Structure 1
Amino acid sequence: MLLIQEHGFHGTPMSQIAKSSDVAIGTIYHYFPSKEVLILQLYDYCKQQMHSYIFDEMDKSLDYKEQFFLVFKCFCSFYRDHTDKFSFMEQFYSSPFFEIAQSKTSDGPYEENKLIDFLLRGIEVNALKKRDVCILSSAFIGVAVSFSKSVLYGKIKFEEKQLDDLIDIIWNGVKTT
């Protein structure tokens, strides 16, 4: 991921990946027949890591609002604690590889997406407004990513109170009355 972060997707040839990994180029191609396959699998890995970080230890006894706050905090925390994965995923979403990933799944952009499932559950239990889940996701993810970037780039100092206030603003915008 570091090579891609430094040189971008197109500026990182498979030979450089092999050299950095201290393996023969043939070994890389044995496991990944192309750079496209490697990048798509790396994206799947990062997404799985993020979902595990956020959802694997979720306390199911919490009510939906408490879970919403916890998921948002974990989302922000993941990006602060895993800047390499954050950088990779940011590059991925703004690259042609994202379109390739979209075209390879019949479920659209939200295949196996635990955050989307979480938001859909909120709608089903009448905790969230009945809105297009893509819009809810954009509100949730967009604000979390923006906050995380602001902290990472030193624009704001991380304070738990600010994060709680931010989540409260989002919650009040998406909750049912």
Structure 2
Amino acid sequence: MKLLTEKGVQATPMSAIAKAAGTGMGTIYNYFATKEELINAIYLYIKSLEIQFITQRTHDESSLKIKFLEYYKAFVDFNIHYPECFAFMDQLQNSPIISECTKDEGKTEFLPVLELIRKGQEDGIIKKMSMDAILQFLAGTLTTYVRWMLSIEENDRDQYLDQQMRMVWDALKE
């Protein structure tokens, strides 16, 4: 993952990946027929880690607003705690290398988030807008915010999270 984000997909041959993993080319090709297959597997692995991280930090008993903000904060925390995963997803999640099948599989991990937004729309708490538009907005705010947080001193980060969450909530609430 680190090689792919530092050097780029085209400049990272499978031989370099095998060497960094401490294994042989044959071993890698036993599991992944192509570099694209490996990249798709990394994508799904990160999605799995992300959802595990997030579900440990959210509570079912919370109000819709609090639960939504818990999800958002957990997404931020995950990406700040795992900057290599963030860099990989930031660079490759919209790449044609990630197959539609892989993207669809990755989305199934986030059904609770989608359901929360749908419920908020049904209850008149969240604006009735296209789910794709809402998800693009949230992904954009999250990505930009995490990039910023990773570029500043760690002890300066806490003061901004509440402001970020308030702005995101204010943009979505009805």
Q: Give the partner amino acid of 1:127.
A: I
2:79 aligned with 1:82: no
Unaligned 5+ residue runs, structure 1? none
Q: Give the partner amino acid of 1:33.
A: A
| Alpha-carbon displacement from aligned partner over 1:107-153 (angstroms, at most 9, x marks no partner) | 59845434434423332443312110111112222112111111111
- Contact (CA 8 Å) 1:128, 1:174: kept in 2 or not? yes
- Contact (CA 8 Å) 2:3, 2:17: kept in 1 or not? yes
> Quick one: distance in 1 between partners of 2:105 and 2:59?
29
- TM-score, length basis structure 2: 0.87
Unaligned 5+ residue runs, structure 2? none
> Quick one: distance in 1 between partners of 2:16 and 2:102?
29
Match of 1:143 in 2: 141
For these two proteins, the number of residue pairs brought into alignment is: 173
Residue aligned with 1:97, SS: coil
Match of 1:34 in 2: 34
CA separation of 1:157 and 1:139: change in aligned 2, threshold 3 A = farther
CA separation of 1:10 and 1:22: change in aligned 2, threshold 3 A = same
2:97 aligned with 1:97: yes
CA RMSD, Structure 1 to Structure 2 (Å): 2.4
Q: Percent identity?
A: 28
CA separation of 1:24 and 1:159: change in aligned 2, threshold 3 A = closer
Among 130, 139, 143, the residue aligned to 2:128: 130
- TM-score, length basis structure 1: 0.85
